[in-house]
Amino acid sequence: MKIRVPKFKVPDEFEIKHTHASVILGSYPLSVKVWNAVEFGSGNGVASIMMALLNTHLKIKAVDVDKKACEEAKAFVKLNQLNERIEVINMDVLKIPEFIGYESVDFVFFNPPFHISGKVSKNERRFLERNENAFEKFVISSFKILKNKGYFRMITSPMNLLTHVELLEKNRLIPKFFVPIYGKKEVNSKLILIEGVKNGKKKGVKVKFPVFLNTDLVK
């Protein structure tokens, strides 16, 4: 499946890291029409920027607990003239439901930490990026802010898939389809996109056509 990655401007004073997970999270086509969204763990805003550029009707709140990342995101949003459609919020995700309102959004998307080795980084920003406990926070707050039957999207790794799906279902976020993502055809998938519904029915899942990073990303 071909994925169109939108063009955007990058501020000179900092380096944007375009991880494959962020690119797929922000660029994979939406399966439903949504009008307002929240990204948890938005970092410097790359995925929210791409999501907004590809879906011009969509308004997004980009949430991250890292103050420096939010400062970078605000500069990034301003440079691409998206201030009226992307609001950057520096806050712990567990506080977001009371801040923006319960059952107030159509769509939530996030790229949770993959690292579950148990090692703790002394670097604060790296710790925030790798803190696996953040995933449960994302899930809990997603359920609270999503409208009934609202949609969610996330990226995970096959290594964490069973644990993450179990926690999603425990919080009544029911996966509806998986998209395996490959770097090369000869190498096993290292990323999986999951999309699902709050309070959805458990009728099994669809496994959609895979995405190959070296051939399917269209600039």
In DSSP notation, 149-180 reads EEEEEEEE-GGGHHHHHHHHHHTTEEEEEEEE
In the structure encoding, which two tokens stand for residue 159, read together? Answer: 């290594």
How far is residue 9's CA from residue 122's CA, in Å, rounded to a whole number? 32
DSSP 8-state code for residue 29 = P
The whole model's pTM is what? 0.91
Question: Which residues, including other chains, have CB under 8 Å from residue 111's CB and lie 6 or more apart?
Answer: 19, 21, 22, 25, 41, 47, 154, 155
Q: Which residue has the tokens 């550029």?
A: 53
Residue-level pLDDT at 186: 86
Q: Of 145, 71, 80, 54, which is closest to residue 108 (Cα–Cα)?
A: 145
pLDDT exceeds cutoff 90 at 36: yes
Return d(Cα 66, Cα 125) in angstroms, integer: 7
Q: Could you tell me if 47 and 6 are in contact, meaning their C-beta atoms sit under 8 angstroms apart?
A: no
Range with the poorest average pLDDT among 44-48, 84-88, 125-129? 125-129
pLDDT at 15 over 80: no
Average pLDDT over residues 127-135: 59
Q: How many helices (H) does the chain have, and how many strands (E)?
A: 8, 11
Q: Evaluate whether the domain defined by 3-218 bears CATH number 3.40.50.150.
A: yes
pLDDT at residue number 51: 98
Of 62-76, 116-130, 167-181, where does mean pLDDT reach its minimum? 116-130
> CA-to-CA distance for 71 and 194, rounded, in angstroms?
29
Residue 59 pLDDT level (bands cut at 50, 70, 90): very high
Looking at per-residue confidence, does 8 or 130 come out higher? 8
Q: Cα(55)–Cα(126) distance, rounded to whole angstroms?
A: 30
The total of other beta-carbon atoms located within 10 Å of residue 19's CB is: 14
Instruction: Check pLDDT > 90 for residue 1.
Output: no
Mean pLDDT of the chain: 90
Q: Count CA atoms within 13 Å of residue 75 on its CB side.
A: 15
**Cα–Cα distance measured from residue 74 to residue 56, given in angstroms and rounded to the nearest whole number:** 18
pLDDT at 132: 56
